[in-house]
Amino acid sequence: MKRLTLWLLLPLLGALAAVAGCRRGAGTGPFPGAPVIVISIDTLRSDHLPAYGYKGVETPALDAFRRDALLFERAWSHTPLTLPSHASILSGVLPNHHGVRDNLGYRFDAAAHPYLPHLLKQAGYATGAAVSAYVLRGDTGLGHGFDRYDDGVTRRPTEAMGNSQRSGGETVRAALAWLGGLGDAAEKPFFLFLHLYEPHTPYAPPEPFATRYRAAPYDGEIAATDALLGGFFDELKSRGLYDKAVIVVLSDHGEGLGEHGEPEHGIFLYREALQVPLLLKLPGSSLGGTSVAGTARLVDVTPTLLALTGRPLPAGMDGASLLDLRDEKAPVRDVYAETWYPRLHFGWSELTSLVRDRFHYIEAPRPELYDLASDPGETRNVLEQERRTFASLRQALAPLVTPLTAPSAVDAETAGRLASLGYLAGGAAG
């Protein structure tokens, strides 16, 4: 009798397994025509978010988003500078290959490299961007492929520093206005790039966050940004877009906050400047609340979004799909990083580095090697104790370093605006 019952149940069990398998496959795509939204929160350290274990700030919107998203525990930027990093995020190409080495005097040649907005536009997507920083203005080359690139920057010679950038609230309103202009967005695929400049310096969060985080204004900026995101996500939900969209939340680089003697960013390549948040929400919140421990890179974002929308990956990309990292047997990904900011602005040595699994090697006048597993703060140089690792990483790094092409001339007005924002020698990097 038991054998007969089992025999009768086998077809049903097989059907259930097949349905479950189909759901798993559908849950990770591809999703042709799905809305795609990339949200970049400038200068945000991953270790200052509750989603990554931090207790010093409240971020209810990002906490809720994390429950809907796949979180990458160890995501790395390739440079602590805003323009080169975003060029890499939106192209899948490392800065040593796309050639944008600084915020000043360089232009991203989007026609010469794979570029996400251009590729999605070719696939029938409407493409829009709203950015908050002058350093990401459209004429840097980032505006290529966008139907609308709203940088909201007024370039009057007499304007105050604060008017050369805009608040996140203004940028969110610009993004929502563009979405509203699409008409029935449910019928038309779109790509939106939303860039929020908070929590970049100056740390001046609005109330009630200024009072609440008086002793930690950087965290106050994060809390204020979270409030903006909460409103933005609510709008997406009210328009029926949130659930069906592929949404990425990330940062272009971190912030020193005094660690290793750097108050802001741009000079050094330590973990606090390079490790960033990276969260990926799929349609239907498939994989929501799960995590990936393997090393992820910002150049992996564009290949991931192309794969999720069913688009082929063009030649010339340095990244690969982030979803492949869900396989515990996936190969370890090396992370190349560089900063030419010290050389270009102060005449000091440039720095390059390579992260491989638990080790971080920094090529400097005095080379440094850190074991991130036992020393995440990078306080103990273990180069003498790990000579084989040092030799291996240095050998792997050497062919990645490409010569510097001198920046082009910058007109006096642009130089003045960037100097006021801290993008020239003596100030913070972008």
Contact 265, 345 (CB under 8 A): no
Dihedral of CA 199/201/205/209: which sign?
positive
pLDDT of residue 417: 55
Angle subtended at Cα 394 by Cα 392 and Cα 400, rounded to the nearest 5 degrees: 115
pLDDT of residue 152: 84
Give the mean model confidence (pLDDT) for residues 204-226.
Answer: 98
Whether the predicted pLDDT of 19 surpasses 90? no
Q: Is the peptide bond before 407 cis (omega within 30 degrees of 0)?
A: no
Q: Which residues pair with 354 in a beta bridge?
A: 336, 361
Mind listing the pLDDT tens digit for each residue in 310-349? 999 999 999 999 999 999 899 999 999 999 999 999 999 9
Reported as a pLDDT band with limits 50, 70 and 90, residue 203 is: very high
Global pTM reads 0.89
Give the mean model confidence (pLDDT) for residues 380-400.
Answer: 98
pLDDT of residue 183: 82
Q: Say if residue 374 is exposed, middle or buried (CB neighbours under 10 Å; 0-12, 13-18, 19+).
A: exposed
Mind listing the pLDDT tens digit for each residue in 374-389? 999 999 999 999 999 9
Whether the predicted pLDDT of 427 surpasses 50? no
Helix 217-238, helix 60-68: angle, nearest 10: 50
pLDDT of residue 3: 42
Q: What is the DSSP string of 15-68?
A: HHHHHHHHHHHHHT---TT--EEEEEETT--GGGSGGGT--SS--HHHHHHHHH
Mind listing the pLDDT tens digit for each residue in 115-150? 999 999 999 999 999 999 989 999 999 999 999 999
Token digits for 270?
Answer: 């330590």
Residue type, 138: G
Q: Higher confidence at residue 265 or residue 27?
A: 265
Mind listing the pLDDT tens digit for each residue in 230-276? 999 999 999 999 999 999 999 999 999 999 999 999 999 999 999 99
Q: Higher confidence at residue 321 or residue 164?
A: 321
The structural domains of the chain, ordered by start, are 30-333 (3.40.720.10), 338-420 (3.30.1120.10)
